[in-house]
Chains A and B, each alone.
Chain A
Amino acid sequence: MSDIVEKTLTALPGLFLQNQPGGGPAAAKASFSSRLGSLVRGITALTSKHEEEKLIQQELSSLKATVSAPTTTLKMMKECMVRLIYCEMLGYDASFGYIHAIKLAQQGNLLEKRVGYLAVSLFLHESHELLLLLVNTVVKDLQSTNLVEVCMALTVVSQIFPREMIPAVLPLIEDKLQHSKEIIRRKAVLALYKFHLIAPNQVQHIHIKFRKALCDRDVGVMAASLHIYLRMIKENSSGYKDLTGSFVTILKQVVGGKLPVDFNYHILLQVLQKYILLLYLTMILTISAIFIFLSLAILFECVHTVYSIYPKSELLEKAAKCIGKFVLSPKINLKYLGLKALTYVIQQDPTLALQHQMTIIECLDHPDPIIKRETLELLYRITNAQNVTVIVQKMLEYLHQSKEEYVIVNLVGKIADVLVLNTVDTYAPDNAWFIQTMNAVFSVGGDVMHPDIPNNFLRLLAEGFDDETEDQQLRLYAVQSYLTLLDMENVFYPQRFLQVMSWVLGEYSYLLDKETPAEVIAKLYKLLMNDSVSSETKTWLIAAVTKLTPQAHSSDTVERLIHEFTISLDTCMRQHAFELKHLHENVELMKSLLPVDRSCEDLAVDASLSFLDGFVAEGLSQGAAPYKPHHQRQEEKLSQEKVLNFEPYGLSFSSSGFTGRQSPAGISLGSDISGNSAETGLKETNSLKLEGIKKLWGKEGYLPKKESKTGDESGALPIPQESIMENVDQAITKKDQSQVLTQSKEEKEKQLLASSLFVGLGSESTVNLLGKADTVSHKFRRKSKIKEAKSGETSSTHNMTCSSFSSLSNVAYEDDYYLNTLHDRGDKELKTFSLNSELLDSESLTELPLVEKFSNCSLSTPSLFADNSMEIFHPPQSIAASVAKESSLASSFLEETTEYIHSNAMEVCNNETISVSSYKIWKDDCLLMVWSVTNKSGLELKSANLEIFPAENFKVTEQPGCCLPIMEAESTKSFQYSVQIEKPFTEGILSGFISYHMMDTHSAQLEFSVNLSLLDFIRPLKISSEDFGKLWLSFANDVKQNVKMSESQAALSSALKTLQQKLRLHIIEIIGNEGLLACQLLPSIPCLLHCRVYADVLALWFRSSCSTLPDYLLYQCQKVMEGS
């Protein structure tokens, strides 16, 4: 490695020197940039920013004159460029010189060219328009025989290059992969890497060559190619499993000292994280025992790897030792790294935190805020019901000290996550503490926090926990504390906090017995009149007042308020005021509209607004124009403005021709405009008050939709600890005890803190031994207590997931009995169906529903379902019913969907309780993803919920009926999601998780992901040849390519058949040796294909309105043609 570096480094300065007569570094420097030197010295001597500005402006104007003067030689130009670069580095605009930089790169000799390229790469960015001017120069230099020129061109390509011009240089760069000089090969690989980053489609065909680069005899080339692989593997880890061997070989060479020690270890390691390569990691861990910083960096990566791959005890032990080395180091940087490593591992192995608890405590009081923050991050990961008070208190302390907005947002998010977001498992020990902490959080971070936090907090209040009286107390406490806060004069609260307050007061003031609603209204009114309150908050406030009004029998304040705000300039406020005014006149209606404490109930909303149909019809009969949607109006406006219609058929083709939406008969009035009765009503009735009232409800109405992000990492944490760590704990506590006597008072305090921080992690005895009484029992601790009880039984079994099972042993046994009988019967019956016997041999019947499902899907024979094979065996009692029901459900579902083509079911994830398999159904208008979830256990799962993470390229919508309050034992349920594409892409990953509760304690979550390709969104486009002709001319993006056909598909028709089947293209017509095909990318981006056959070559010609689609389809076609 180092010899290459030497070469790289010597190559160019050497050139500088050659060109300078007289040689010698000193002389070279002096003549090269003496004027730059004086400029720099001038700037350094200045003291104020203002003077510097003046000097630079002077310099820039003189430079401007020089570069544009015709007499300036290239040599002078080079010198000017260097000064320009420096000026721009200082932050002054030097855009006038950009074009000269490009010129210099074009015209200069080697050295001047170099400076020109350098200036270009520093000045311009990828989308800069001037960059196009550089392309020609680059192409010329790439073809040059001079190595240095090629080098420079490759360098600039790997730094900045316009995306659209890649095809122009791609073949040249590909050639360079075979160059005899390793530096050129390396730079070529880097350039291709850059292309892969900005346009992965275009380099798809050279993946084979990357493999060659990976096996290059030169280390540098190999290392460069690793970057490409690192990225590709991150995208799709399963596709490159075959390369594991090569990576291992490389690693072995590195470890064996055959290659020079270099920095690439950790890149390799990141690649390896995808695989399980324990042996070699062990070797590295041993080797890296040398104590130099760099090897520590590698060591850190190793530790990270060890914990991210499949855990193996031997390795974990070694890694733990390494972490110890980091954490205990007196060097602050190492300590930081150690804390970071601890944060990684803490979820898997909390014992480590116990070992290092004193260090962590020290770090918590460290003068360096960065270390402190890292420690808090660590604590955040180990938060549980017992230590939450201490940890949150520490976080709040830090929060009050910090000024930086980013820190506040981050920290507030974490506290709230511990307290609120985690609705399943809130750690808050009691009401008062909870509300007070939240008050503190809101008042510090109110305006910067994530909007989810107040929403979730309110939801928590509204939905409450299991115990109704507790909930009432919590709400009452909240109301009281807010009223006290509002009583204080001259205190400004963040807007979000005020919003939260107003909602809570509006909903739950009725819980108060002392204060009447009128008094609360008066307080809210005072806020409303306050100028510092934003208008958004005011709407929250007035909504609260509206809710309170029916409870207050008569109130002057309300009238005053109505009077005040009906003339408000803010339309939103005015609207609310009017609503309030009208409702106020009819108290009975108001009471029924705004019932007390009903915020959690769902409202049935008539989304189609059908009740307005009559009104609309009346309006239309009186000659009103039918409603046109916004986009249609805009289109019409545009088409009126246009004199010449240049793109006539494209738009109408895609919007009306294929959607097939028809206007309701009574309303369309003969026009082909799609008028929708509902929308018409919405727009034309501003006198209807009902609509406005819903808006009031909107605030609560959308709360239940918010998804809870159950941070299960922390939630699941307490389970394993108790059982696994008991031994370790006792050892530690014994040691602690013996030391207690000699400890100073300060130490004791720290110990106390430590014990309160780590209380949830160790067994109870730790705390007692340290002389600190167990914290008061709280209602939220119910869960942890159960776990403790369980841990007694299960401490011998080190399997965390077992604990919940074994404690329920009675139930499980009973179920087992059923299972066995069921199994026997099912076995016999099913064998007659000659299904796959391997699957049937599975030990428990829990898999049966899966088997059924699986066989049906994978064989894709609807007939099997049609004759209702499932009902032949009758499993006993309760299970029987559910299974039968499920199977019939499933069969009906499958019948419904078989009209579309669907993929085979593929298992995406499973554990001992649940297994999830997915398949795709290519519907006409979207991609329907079906996840069928099978409950394999004999237990009922509660609130099974499948959620899909939002992905950047897709829009995922849940099909109705997907939420399950209860999932019976051994049943299979399907979740359907329709996926729409939002922006073209090549490969996408859709990931999500399934969460469920077993009995009432154990909640679990299972993540999965599914790969989606653009192909999933390609649908045949059925148009006539005539339309094809018209469309063909209107599309601008085209791609042509010749593909060799294999023997089997010599005839055009058979080749096209293949394309039709594999890629879902529609064959429009075959004329002689030419064929027309069309397809569309959902929702409606058409792409046309024209094929022509000469001898055994198929010429493909794509056109589309989208620029990436032809590229992609071409690649797919090539794959299909090669594959068949």
Chain B
Amino acid sequence: MIKFFLMVNKQGQTRLSKYYEHVDINKRTLLETEVIKSCLSRSNEQCSFIEYKDFKLIYRQYAALFIVVGVNDTENEMAIYEFIHNFVEVLDEYFSRVESIDELPKICSALEPQQACFSPDSSFKGAASTTPIY
């Protein structure tokens, strides 16, 4: 079950956040700071899954942009990992230059309606299948 979806740049500024369970606005900032901190501190050799409190963070880095998904432990990490990539590919299809930071929030706000595609309790509904580059 996905708890939240975050897009953060390397400076730790939030680009996009979407919570699937209500979190108090003050707590959000706190949570985001901690999440970003734990993601930024990791190197390439380390795995993309972090256990944070009682949930798991799965992150992927695209240039200067981090996408972090928080899930509870019923979720399959690898599937979420691929899902992030899928999401980025979808963005890429519709808007060019996803990796450029300036454009992103705009893109995401515009794209937000499609986020309805993944409703809170189901990890991936309707996301198209693509073979990753790896």
Residues of A at the B interface (CB closer than 8 Å) are 1-2, 4-6, 8-9, 12-13, 16, 25, 29, 32-33, 36-37, 40-41, 43-44, 52, 82, 85-86, 88-93, 114, 118, 122, 125-126, 155, 158-159, 190, 193-194, 197, 220, 223-224, 227, 260-263, 266-267, 292-294, 296-298, 300-301, 332-337, 340, 367-368, 370-371, 373, 406-407
Contact = CB atoms under 8 A, between A and B. Distances in A.
A322 to B, nearest CB: 13
A114 B113 contact: yes
12 contacts: A90-B14, A91-B29, A92-B25, A118-B113, A158-B119, A220-B126, A227-B122, A263-B123, A294-B82, A333-B78, A367-B46, A371-B46
Contact of A25 (B13, B18, B95, B125): B95
B40 interface: no
A33 B112 CA distance: 14
B79 A266 contact: yes
B13 A82 contact: no
A197 B49 contact: no
A36 B124 contact: no
Nearest to B112: A118
Contact of B122 (A37, A118, A267, A333): A267
B63 interface: no
A952 to B, nearest CB: 17
A697 B76 CA distance: 50
A9 B110 contact: no
A159 B119 contact: yes
B9 to A, nearest CB: 8
Contacts of B114: 8-9, 12-13
Given A262-B129, A294-B132, A370-B46, A333 B81 contact: yes
A9 B121 CA distance: 20
Contacts of A125: 22
B28 A296 contact: no
A297 B76 contact: yes
Most buried by B among A89, A260, A292: A89
A874 B46 CA distance: 71
Most buried by A among B9, B13, B18, B113: B113
Given A118-B112, A293-B132, A294-B82, A89 B16 contact: yes
Nearest to B56: A370
A189 B11 CA distance: 41
A677 B9 CA distance: 70
B13 A43 contact: yes
Interface residues of B, number: 60
A193 B121 contact: yes
Interface string B1-43: 0000000010101101110001001101100100000000010
Contacts of A371: 46-47
The 3 A-B pairs at the shortest CB distance, nearest first, are namely A125-B22, A91-B29, A297-B78
A197 B126 CA distance: 21
A13 B106 CA distance: 13
Contacts of B29: 90-91
B109 A85 contact: yes
A8 B83 CA distance: 17
Interface of B: 9, 11, 13-14, 16-18, 22, 25-26, 28-29, 32, 42, 45-54, 76-79, 81-83, 90, 94-95, 101-102, 105-106, 109-114, 116-117, 119-129, 131-132, 134
Contact of B105 (A13, A36, A194, A334): A36
A37 B78 contact: no
Contact of B109 (A4, A33, A298): A33
Contacts of B18: 122
Contacts of B94: 9, 13
Given A93-B25, A159-B119, A336-B49, A44 B126 contact: no
B77 to A, nearest CB: 7
Contact of B46 (A40, A301, A368): A368
Nearest to A125: B22
A37 B25 contact: no
A263 B127 contact: yes
Nearest to A85: B109
B50 A370 contact: yes
Given A36-B106, A88-B25, A158-B116, 11 more contacts: A12-B113, A13-B110, A29-B110, A52-B13, A86-B109, A89-B17, A91-B14, A91-B26, A263-B79, A263-B124, A297-B81
Contact of B76 (A114, A118, A301, A332): A301
Contacts of A5: 117, 126-128
Contacts of B125: 190, 220, 223-224
A267 B105 CA distance: 32
Given A44-B13, A82-B109, A114-B113, A293 B78 contact: yes
Contact of A2 (B52, B120, B128): B128
A155 B117 CA distance: 9
B33 to A, nearest CB: 9
A370 B47 contact: yes
Nearest to A292: B131
Contacts of A367: 45-46
A118 B132 CA distance: 30
B129 A294 contact: yes
A33 B110 contact: yes
A635 to B, nearest CB: 36
B14 A261 contact: no
Given A86-B105, A335-B47, A293 B129 contact: no
